Amino acid sequence: MSYNKKILLKVFFAFCMLCSGLCLNADINSSSQQGIQDSGIQISYTQSSFVNIFEGISTILQTHINDQNFSFDSKFLSLSVSKINLADLQLNKLISNAEFLTGNKMKVTLNFEKVYISFQYNVKFFNLISIKDEGFLADTGLQVKFDLLISANSNGTTHLAVSHLDLKTGQLEAHLNNKFFNFILQAALKLTNLTLQVLRNLIDLAVQIIANKFGSTIPTQVKIPQSNGIIDLSIQGQPFLQNGYMNIPISGNSYRNGTTPTPLNPFRQFNPTEYINSTQIFVDQQVINKLIQTFIQTQITFNITLPQVISSTTPIDSRSLSPVFPGLRKLKVINYPIIEPVLDNNSIEISFLDSKLKAKAKLGFNLYMQEAQKPETTFKYNNNVVYIVADLALDVISSQNFLTINLADFTLEDIIVSDEDLQLVNAKSFISIFPFFDQLIHDAVNLVIYKDFIDLSKILGFNINQVQIHFDSNYLHLAVLF
């Protein structure tokens, strides 16, 4: 691995750690609710669930990066984001960039495997990031300790300052201050930018060669047509804590190109459900009404294709599943359920026309349920791709100010079963669940099947004639007759 690639990996890893640091310090301005009444959408999430996401990302990065002889201790000192604007969406090459603009604005460009998104932030405070490292060159026999501060001055220009740098190798020790090291930092930044530009040129050349050989079958750049709709969201006020949740108030405009923007206001205060340990999104009824009024008779299509090169294994333990099935707390047979995405030719396509939303998803995954006492797998849903096609109609219950989705048509296609432990007969109506403990069965039957399942099915538009439950050996069979 070349030195420049190592630099890029370290910067990327530091960015993930910075995100984690932001989550850990998310209680800044916890009592602030400025601008909350002007918002149209509110997103609430618990700090613990959000931190766990970035801890998982860091674990995956550490697992897949071979060069691990470095460690960053990073945190946000003071950063206040007042507005985020979605600037552009297009298929492009692999690029990531962050720069400060005039007027205390920071523009961040993220490109992850051909998906290009550009955001612009209004930054109120200027001391941004503090990074400490103690040994990322330890494998060379050189011990390094340094403090790095990234900040922006009043006109928005980026500053990188090293308050102290200690070098030690054998009998040689050196202590360098900010002035001495500033030249080295600027040279490293220029070298990194030069390397990225060379990579962009090589990618452009490769894409051009492929396009010349295969013609129009390889799209090099696709932008949203100007006739499509635009939704411009912004954060209205500081995030704040409420009932153990971090709340982010959001409002914005919805419009088609060339038309007058329709505000997504006003905002009604929502109370998060405390016992659900997950992200919750609350949308006011008038926001949905204005979206439908704006985009009626307008074709909106959004498509994402995930390439094979993205792969990861995400462990899910009983703690994260316990809000759904409380019986998992007492479950001893099954130790660690593991979901492994299979992202070859997966796609999600969503279209909106005539007040109806149509979604088609092609998803692949492996699901392993491992026993605590035996190494073999008791349940394996392996290398299968599930096609889900649904025609949805949007409806608003005015008395409750809730958005409900009436499911007009729902089908499962091309389901392939590769393991006898999963019994699936008549894909639309019959499901067999492999052995669970009595407590888990009790939770599922009483909390889901008899109450929530019937209520949910009515909301989704299912016409359920009968629900049958019976036991066969150690299996619980659930048959839903339509």
Local confidence band at 338 (pLDDT 50, 70, 90 cut-offs): low
224 near 89, Cβ under 8 Å? yes
Please write the tens of the pLDDT for every residue from 190-240. Answer: 555 555 555 555 555 655 555 555 444 433 333 334 445 566 666 666 556
Q: Does a structural domain hold residue 113?
A: no
Higher pLDDT among residues 60 and 281, named by residue: 281
Answer with the one of 175, 202, 217 that is the final residue of a domain: 217
Q: Does a structural domain hold residue 430?
A: yes
Evaluate if residue 121 carries a pLDDT over 50.
Answer: no
Evaluate if residue 259 carries a pLDDT over 60.
Answer: yes
Range of the domain at 68: 3-81+125-217
Gap between the Cα atoms of 298 and 280, Å rounded: 28
SS3 81: strand
Answer with the one of 217, 236, 265 that is the final residue of a domain: 217
The contacts found for 126-130 with CB under 8 angstroms, 24 or more apart, are 126/78, 126/151, 126/152, 126/153, 126/154, 127/77, 127/78, 127/151, 128/76, 128/77, 128/78, 128/79, 128/152, 129/18, 129/74, 129/75, 129/76, 129/77, 130/74, 130/75, 130/77
pLDDT, position 165: 60
Please write the tens of the pLDDT for every residue from 142-160. Answer: 566 666 555 544 444 455 5
Rounded average pLDDT over 81-92? 38
Please write the tens of the pLDDT for every residue from 303-314. Answer: 444 333 333 333
Q: Does a structural domain hold residue 36?
A: yes
Answer with the one of 192, 217, 242 that is the final residue of a domain: 217
Spatial CB neighbours of 413, under 8 Å, sequence gap ≥ 6: 387, 388, 389
Q: Does a structural domain hold residue 92?
A: no
Q: Does a structural domain hold residue 93?
A: no
Same-domain status, 60 and 204: yes
Same-domain status, 173 and 55: yes
Same-domain status, 74 and 209: yes
Evaluate if residue 22 carries a pLDDT over 50.
Answer: no
Total domains, the chain: 2
Please write the tens of the pLDDT for every residue from 151-189. Answer: 544 444 455 555 566 666 555 555 555 555 455 555 555
475 near 435, Cβ under 8 Å? yes
Q: To 5 degrees, how large is the angle CA 453–CA 458–CA 459?
A: 100
Local confidence band at 49 (pLDDT 50, 70, 90 cut-offs): low
Q: Does a structural domain hold residue 260?
A: no
Evaluate if residue 478 carries a pLDDT over 50.
Answer: no
Same-domain status, 353 and 447: yes
Please write the tens of the pLDDT for every residue from 357-382. Answer: 566 655 555 545 444 444 443 333 33
Question: Residue 38 corresponds to which tokens in the numbers above?
Answer: 């002007």
Gap between the Cα atoms of 299 and 350, Å rounded: 11
Same-domain status, 166 and 21: yes
236 near 39, Cβ under 8 Å? yes
Rounded average pLDDT over 121-145? 48
Q: To 5 degrees, how large is the angle CA 366–CA 311–CA 428?
A: 35
Evaluate if residue 79 carries a pLDDT over 70.
Answer: no
Evaluate if residue 250 carries a pLDDT over 60.
Answer: yes
Evaluate if residue 263 carries a pLDDT over 70.
Answer: yes
Distances (CA, A) of 148 to 12, 114, 177, 221: 16, 32, 11, 37
Same-domain status, 164 and 36: yes
Local confidence band at 327 (pLDDT 50, 70, 90 cut-offs): very low
pLDDT, position 163: 58
Same-domain status, 313 and 455: yes
Rounded average pLDDT over 450-472? 46
Q: Which residue has the tokens 């050196």?
A: 174
Q: Does a structural domain hold residue 243?
A: no
Same-domain status, 319 and 183: no
Spatial CB neighbours of 169, under 8 Å, sequence gap ≥ 6: 141, 142, 143
pLDDT, position 390: 43
Q: Does a structural domain hold residue 55?
A: yes
Name the residue among 41, 35, 155, 174 with its Cα closest to residue 102: 155
